Amino acid sequence: MLIFKVLHVLSMFIAVTFLMGDAFFLALAFWRRDLRALATFQRLVGARPVIGSSIFLLGIVFGLLTAATGDIDFFRGWLIAAYVLVAAAFLVNVTPFVQRMPKVAREALEVEAGGSSAEDVARRMSSVRTGFLVSVALNAAIFVALIVDMVVKPF
């Protein structure tokens, strides 16, 4: 049904905008070891990454509803490729580098409040920096591949 397709495209557009916008800002803060930027992000954004992830899941539901109501075979090659890419995105985001990032961001807030050592937090930023930057690049590549797959339907 057309409404599910529209909702799928809109929700995915919003989700990718939120998720990648946040990721690029955080990657820059981590790359520069900028505690102030990281604390500012955490203070301003708070739970938005959870919102972006939730909208992404909602987009998946709308995509499945589009296939179910649009007489689209769930086992078409381009849909199987999309399933694999979505699974890859989830796998990238459960890596320790990504999972430690929110804790480090909260600690950056504590530094501003005088509760944690800036050097300790900067050291933790450095310990996950490369892995986090790789995960951001992988996420960007996965999202680009998903968009190409959905538009071109190569299989």
Whether 155 shows a pLDDT value over 80: the answer reads yes
Nearest to 135 by CA among 54, 52, 44, 27: 27
DSSP letter assigned to residue 116:
S
d(CA 81, CA 25): 29
pLDDT, position 47 = 61
Asked if residue 20 lies in contact with residue 143, where contact means CB atoms within 8 angstroms, the answer is yes
Asked if residue 111 lies in contact with residue 121, where contact means CB atoms within 8 angstroms, the answer is yes
Once rounded to an integer, what is the mean pLDDT over residues 30-47?
86
> What is the chain's mean pLDDT, rounded?
90
Q: How many domains does one find in the chain?
A: 1
pLDDT band for 129, please (50, 70, 90 cuts): confident
**Domain limits at 9?**
2-152
Asked if residue 150 lies in contact with residue 79, where contact means CB atoms within 8 angstroms, the answer is no
Model-wide pTM > 0.75: yes
